[in-house]
Structure 1
Amino acid sequence: MECLLCPDKGGSIARLTLHGPDGPVDLLRPATGWALQHGSAVDMGCFPLVPFSNRIAAGRFDFDGRTVELPLNMSGCPHAIHGDGWQADWSVAERTDWAARLVLRHGGQGWPWRYRAVQDIALEGDGLTVVLDVTNEDDRPMPAGIGLHPYLPKPPGTRLSARVGGVWMNDATLLPRDRAALPEEWRFPDGVVMDRTVLDNGFTGWDGRATLDWPGRGLRLTMTADGPFGHLVIYAPPGEDYLCVEPVSHMTDAVNRGQEVDAGLRVLAPGESLRGTMRLTLSPLRG
């Protein structure tokens, strides 16, 4: 198993490849040579979402008696998106042949709280484990959320299964509009072939396990997540050979959705941390 990290591109994983007897198998969409030279985190194989996941409406919210206005940090998007860790340089605090620790110290610019984020990334014989941790280093309470944004290969016939309870339907700007039962074409607990599926939605009630079956390769990729990861974002853009299955701790725009009982937003006291783990495991596809 081989993993290429790009700390200077948002603490990203650029490639994750199993070198087996039948040749190499990419568990994540591999970054191209151009992306490694000129791209950003969104051109990599996986990047961290910290200190929040997905979108905050117009980059604006009220918290603890103050109004916060964040930079709109992606071209063409009318919202703040994915936190700011994905656009920062991370440092390599530790490294061995099979593991690395990446660290980000945020000083309060943009996101107006100081925090420390850590990724512990470790190779295993059949996959990879990522532990993501964020600690409030400010002297005030801080709203917080975490997630991971893996880009997964989608060869023809790819089947995604995930035990989720419901879905947030979006408005025209991809913010949650209303909660709904799973439509027939998105019944991921029963498995959905993703060849023609197009979506960018948040799902509720996730149990922390998802599988991606690649029948043409005879392989299954299993994602397991623990800690606060009770929400799942699935992004399947049209015409692409990848999809994203993102374990996240809260719904989209959670800082503006205090009325939702399961929005998932945490408030960290000074010195308090939030931690979650994602593991990707490759195995033969049986049956």
Structure 2
Amino acid sequence: MFTSSAISRTAGLLTIRSGLFEASFNVKAGGRMSQLAHEVYGHVLVPMSDDPFDKQDWPRAGAFPLFPYHGRLKRAELVTEDQLFQLRGNPYRNGDAMHGPAQRRPWTIANHSASVLSMSLEYEADEDWPYSFRAVQHFSISDQRLDVTLSLLNRSARPSPAGMGWHPYFAVGSGVELFCDAHESWSLPTPGSKDDPTLTLLQSASFGIDPQAKHLSKWSRASFAIPTGCVSLLRTSALEYLVLHRTEAYLCLEPVSHLSGALSLPSHLRTSAGIMELAPGEMMVGGVSICVGRQPSSNNINEFQ
């Protein structure tokens, strides 16, 4: 983890690069970022291997898009005001649907230059999601910063519940203290429970060094030290929720637009949990940045120019 001169290049992957910072992508494998590494600061994300994988049981590496929702959809049932849709469940998740279908579809390159990559997915309603949409991921890299912008457009002729996010696996496990300025932490109901999520106000920015899972909101920055400096995740627009999932081997910091499992909540609770209802032709947009180098003193993105 975080060794210098860490960039390794694999044939067939698209790359963007600025100075010593490089990102690689496997567009056909679900629009994934397969590697993010700096020649001084090392691997920022756990690098993906070239091995094939089951689309329903993805590798814990790289980063993948979360459209048009994230988290579990219990029993793969999507309930709207006037209809129940039985979606295809995930056999590895007890038949629940999880993290939306966008990461299991090939994406299309929209724009690619030395330091910029945009990719899109024109999704047609099917058994994984009953609404058509267009999803876009836009990546721009500079010497010590990667900017990520996500957008989701409802292409259906009817309103659609909607959410989005991004799921990176940072190359740091337990033993390194994590800081995040989130104001709120959520406790989610246990499977089968009819309880509502409960909210706790946070008193400390430190999340310690141990494996854990947290569901946070009202955040703007998360950061952790590496031997050569610091890695920070900055929220630049929308995406007010953050999933923190840490194991001995990796750290997931997932910027998302809604609370995990929000689509399984009663309809009157979904809006307060971040789920949007997009009218036909309506779009939602959000963004984050990953910065490497010195410890930032503020959330001002200009510090990393």
For the criterion TM > 0.5, the same-fold answer is yes
Matched, 1:113 2:125: no
1:219 and 1:78, CA in 2 relative to 1: closer, same or farther beyond 3 A? farther
Matched with 1:5 is 25
Give me the whole-angstrom Cα distance separating, in 2, the residues matched to 1:228 and 1:54: 18
- Structure 1 unaligned runs (5+)? none
Note the C-alpha offset of 1:74. Answer: 5.1
Give me the whole-angstrom Cα distance separating, in 2, the residues matched to 1:153 and 1:173: 30
Matched, 1:181 2:200: yes
- For 2:33, give the aligned amino acid: I
Matched with 2:275 is 265
Note the C-alpha offset of 1:233. Answer: 0.8
Contact 1:160/1:188, CA 8 A, preserved across alignment: no
Note the C-alpha offset of 1:166. Answer: 3.1
Note the C-alpha offset of 1:47. Answer: 0.6
Note the C-alpha offset of 1:127. Answer: 2.1
Matched with 1:50 is 67
Contact 1:53/1:81, CA 8 A, preserved across alignment: yes
Q: TM-score, normalised by structure 1?
A: 0.86
Report SS of the residue matched to 1:75: helix
Matched with 2:16 is none
Contact 2:237/2:288, CA 8 A, preserved across alignment: no
Task: Give the superposed CA RMSD.
Answer: 2.4
Give me the whole-angstrom Cα distance separating, in 2, the residues matched to 1:85 and 1:177: 28
Counting aligned pairs with the same residue, the percent is 24
Matched with 1:161 is 179
Contact 2:173/2:246, CA 8 A, preserved across alignment: no
Matched with 1:67 is 84
Give me the whole-angstrom Cα distance separating, in 1, the residues matched to 2:96 and 2:33: 25
- For 2:78, give the aligned amino acid: F
Give me the whole-angstrom Cα distance separating, in 1, the residues matched to 2:54 and 2:48: 9
Report SS of the residue matched to 2:75: helix
1:46 and 1:126, CA in 2 relative to 1: closer, same or farther beyond 3 A? same
1:273 and 1:74, CA in 2 relative to 1: closer, same or farther beyond 3 A? farther
Give me the whole-angstrom Cα distance separating, in 2, the residues matched to 1:33 and 1:111: 28
1:227 and 1:218, CA in 2 relative to 1: closer, same or farther beyond 3 A? same
1:89-132 CA-to-partner distances (Å, cap 9, x unmatched) read: 10112111111111101110120111000111111110211111
Give me the whole-angstrom Cα distance separating, in 2, the residues matched to 1:74 and 1:123: 37
Matched, 1:88 2:105: yes
Matched with 2:215 is 202
